[in-house]
Every structure is written in C-alpha cells, then in structure tokens.
Amino acid sequence: MSTPHVLNFGAGPAKIPKSVLQRAQGEMLNFDNSGMSVMELSHRSKTFGKVLSHTKAMIKSLMNVPDNYEILFMQGGATTQFAALFYNLVAAKQQQLGQDEVFVDYVVTGAWSNKAAQEADRLATANPAVKVNRVTHSKQDFGKYGDVAPSSAWQFSDPAKTAYVYYCDNETVHGVEFDHVPEVDPRVPLVADVSSNFMSRPIDVSKFALLYGGAQKNLGPAGVSIVIMRKDLLTDINVGPVRPLMLDFKTMADNDSMYNTPPTFGIYMVGLVLDWLEEQGGLEGIGKVNKTKADKLYEAIDTSPLFACPVAPAYRSRMNVVFTTPNEDLDKAFLTGAEARNMVQLKGHRSMGGIRASIYNSMPEDEVDQLIAYMKEFEQSRA
C-alpha cells in the first residue's frame, strides 16, 4: 500500500525538500565512503570537518556575509539566543563604557519578540545596571498583534548607552513580517531574530550587528541554531554579566563552534538544504518564488467572502499566512476537510486559533495552489 502524499504546512519543525531527504537517505549508512553514518562521525574527524566548513562556506556565499562577521552553530534554538545576545552584547557595551547604566531596546511586534523582552526582564533582575526598554508595542493589545506602530512613534533609549536594539523579522505566531530593515542610530548594534524567514529572500547582512535563527523552519531539522555576528562584538568571558561558557560567543568562535559536541547531523542537513537553495537560484531565486506563493494566497483570502486575514497588508508575512473564517466551528470544519485531503498542520497557533499556512522555502508553488483550490471549494460548499 503506497503512502499518500502529504502537504505539510507546519510552522516548525517544517517541511524539508524531498530531494534533500532522498540525498540524506542515500548517504545515511555510508557518508563520504567513511563506512559510517554522518551521525556516527567524530566531530573532531576530518570528514566532519569538511561538513562544517562546507555548511559555513555556503552560508557565507548565499548571504554575502562580510569577512568581519563570524558564523556560529549553536544549540538550544532561537529561544536560547534570547539570553546569549543579552549576556554578550551587554558585556560588549560595558567593556566600552565600564559598569555604567546600559539599555537594551526591544521592538515588540508579536509573541516571539515579547518572549525575548520578557527574558531580558528576567536577566536584568540580576544585572541592575541593565535597563530593558520596550521601544514599541503593536497598535493592538497583546495577543492581537497584526500591525506595527510607525517608526516615528518608537521610543529609543540613549544611543550612547544602548547595548543593542532587538526585533523579530518575522513573527511566526501572528504572521507579521518586516519588509524593510528598521532604521536605528548607527552607533547602536541592530539584532534580528530571523528564525522563520532565514534565507527566504536577499538580506544585507552589513546592516546588522547580529542575526540569528533556529534551522527548523527553512534550513533543516530542529537542533541547530545559526548566529551571524560582527567579530568586534566578541568579548572576553570575564567582562560584563557572568555567562555560561555555552552561551559565550567568543568561546564558540574560538573553538569553531565545537567547544563541545555540536549538533552534527543538524549541521550536515543544513548544508544539504543550502546546496538545494543554491540550485533554486540562491536568495534572489527563492525570494521571487516565495513572493509569488504568498501573493497568490493573500489574493485568495482578500477576494473571498468567507476568509479574512487579521494582519495589516504592509506587514503580512510571506512565510506564515494566518487567516480565519467567521467563526470557530467553520475553522474546525475547514481544518477537518483539509486533513481529509492530506493537508496537514494548518491549525493556527494554540494562543491564536484560526488557520495558519506556513509556506517556507521548501513548499512548492503547486501545493499552495492546491490549498487555494480547496479554499474555493470550501467557500462554494458554504454559499
């Protein structure tokens, strides 16, 4: 009995290109003529060293990462980076200023940026010299994010004392994505969580002090996070807040991301996905495809008498398309019908409800077309 083809709209861990999975399958028992699986290789071996070097080189090439940036592979997901960036960038600022008062600014536009700010609040209780400032909230109340206040209303801290400005480039839960890089004072390091739109379109790395994201949306399986940061922000472990070695960027950089055993299989899989991404025309090529997919889906929503998107058009995500029907019963009926058609993981986040179609890099355009066709069929059945 053949396995039915599944259309996986999951928000993460998310769909991985079929050709990548097939390549990994073919190499599973004997990687690079080693007689072993890549999962069995020593991370200190020359064979894995080639994997690590290749993956890092592909990131640098596809994103045009400048030479004065470090590429790190870390564990714990993007959530761990909430703490790591606080510890390290506060240390960098305190190294510059001494132990004077330091600010960290957070642009809060959805669930993940709010969680990041909450973690900064918690860590700041043990570091009274650090003040956490929320630059902006969404125009709407928490839990109902769908728009972003104009930048003219943002309240930044004193740039001379600000360790960094943080924002989440794409809010996975609320379907809110920036289509531009926010402008900040050039003296202040700009940090972005790009977990759910990592390498989905071209981005100018030089505008950022630090970019980070978990791999499990666009770049591979859960278990590895990627940090891209300016080398001048690497700070001695004895400066600033006391931080665990595993969260110290300089320790990771000095040891080529191998202070301890890294997530070897995850790094290998990211490398395979990056090879696939290069075949799609790199970030320029995949960016065009992603725009086409999202435009089609939003047009179907906006022209529908049944479906609606709660996100302001200027901030609609190309990766996570959230929408609803007029009531929860219809939402449930739509989701039940979708599952009967092997369209899975379309249920909205537990805090939001509704419907969410995650259409990351690996989602083919024809599968978005199939979703749209089902939406029209569902509309007609309720007419």
Q: List, for residues 210-241, the tens digit of each pLDDT value.
A: 999 999 999 999 999 999 999 999 999 998 88
Q: List, for residues 238-295, the tens digit of each pLDDT value.
A: 988 899 999 999 999 999 999 999 999 999 999 999 999 999 999 999 999 999 999 9
Q: List, for residues 118-171, the tens digit of each pLDDT value.
A: 999 999 999 999 999 999 865 554 446 899 988 899 999 999 999 999 999 999
Question: What residues are paired with 134 via a beta bridge?
Answer: 106
Percentage, residues of the chain above pLDDT 70: 97
Residue 3 pLDDT > 80, yes or no? Answer: no
Domains and CATH numbers, the chain: 31-277 (3.40.640.10), 282-382 (3.90.1150.10)
pLDDT of res. 138 = 54
Q: Which residues are catalytic?
A: 112, 193, 217
Q: List, for residues 279-334, the tens digit of each pLDDT value.
A: 999 999 999 999 999 999 999 999 999 999 999 999 999 999 999 999 999 999 99
What's the rounded Cα separation, in Å, for the pair 288 and 274?
A: 17
Instruction: Tally the C-alpha atoms within 13 A of residue 74's C-alpha that lie toward its C-beta.
Output: 30
pLDDT of res. 167 = 98
Of the candidates 153, 200, 141, 209, the one whose C-alpha atom is nearest the C-alpha of residue 172 is: 200
98: confidence class by pLDDT, cuts 50, 70, 90? confident
Question: What residues are paired with 190 via a beta bridge?
Answer: 165
State the average pLDDT over residues 67-87.
97
